[in-house]
Structure 1
């Protein structure tokens, strides 16, 4: 019974830690994209008009989803591979690699923007259908996750 309660306590601590890092990852993406990311994802206009700005950006949705999945995979791998160690060590690995995953996603996002025509940050937040450049940015984010996860394991 003690093992069960201990495991449940660890799960709660990991969930709060990983949740805080995922919230941080979202806000970092919000900071590097123009405007308010939540409004890009939700759509709608503050004026109630029926203009194009009222449409959500599907590109922002694709990039945001990939960004969150990428960072969650890094956190999962850090927890999974260190879960048998003491809680402090496992949390240190989780926070360290979680922060590294966020930082590398920023770098990769900016590299994709530098290597492709146009401004990725603006294209991602353009209302309407998914733009091919957004798919590339999403794939780059997921690639970062694969590389960081491999380095952990």
Structure 2
């Protein structure tokens, strides 16, 4: 019983560490794609567009981590490697989706994200992040 408990604790710690690292990487990617400092936009200027975009990125990464845990079927090493690989694929896909959407629509999406007024384009991009997280999570199974 305690061995299973110890393994579960080790797994939770390992997946949490990898998940946090991927979420931090996601933060830097969103920061790179948008003008200005993302942290200031969200926490100082209380910009809802930037917060929505980052939140959807974080949730997309979370879906991928959950998918990797599910697909690993208890094999911790395989699950951690899958989480890292598919997490990075997901973040790259989200960045590419941002860039493609920016090219296909009027205006600059990065500037729209920084706008003080709520922008529907940010909702569309956020939906893409969540959808990509789900697609990649399902690709793991």
TM range (shorter): over 0.9
Q: What is the 5 A alignment of 1:82-121?
A: 82-85=72-75, 87-121=76-110
The unaligned stretches of length 5 or more in structure 2 are none
The answer to whether the Cα contact below 8 Å between 1:74 and 1:148 also exists between their aligned partners in 2 is: yes
1:15-38 deviation per Cα after TM superposition (whole angstroms, max 9, x unaligned): 111111111111111111111001
Q: Is 1:35 aligned to 2:36, yes or no?
A: yes
Residue 66 (structure 2) aligned to one of 73, 76, 79: 76
Q: Max radius of gyration: which structure?
A: 1
Distance in 2, matches of 1:148 and 1:34, equals 27
Determine the C-alpha separation between the residues in 2 that align with 1:20 and 1:120. 26
Within 2, Cα distance between the matches of 1:145 and 1:9? 25
| Alpha-carbon shift at residue 43 of structure 1 (Å) | 3.0
Gaps of 5+ in 1: 45-55
Between Structure 1 and Structure 2, the one with more helix by share is 2
Q: What is the aligned residue count?
A: 140
* Residue deviations 1:27-73 (CA, integer Å, cap 9, x gap): 111111111001111234xxxxxxxxxxx321111111111111111
Equivalent residue runs for 1:1-153 within 5 Å: 1-44=2-45, 56-85=46-75, 87-127=76-116, 129-153=117-141
Answer whether contact 1:62 1:130 (CA < 8 A) is retained: no
TM-score for both structures, normalised by structure 2: 0.93
SS of equivalent to 2:53: helix
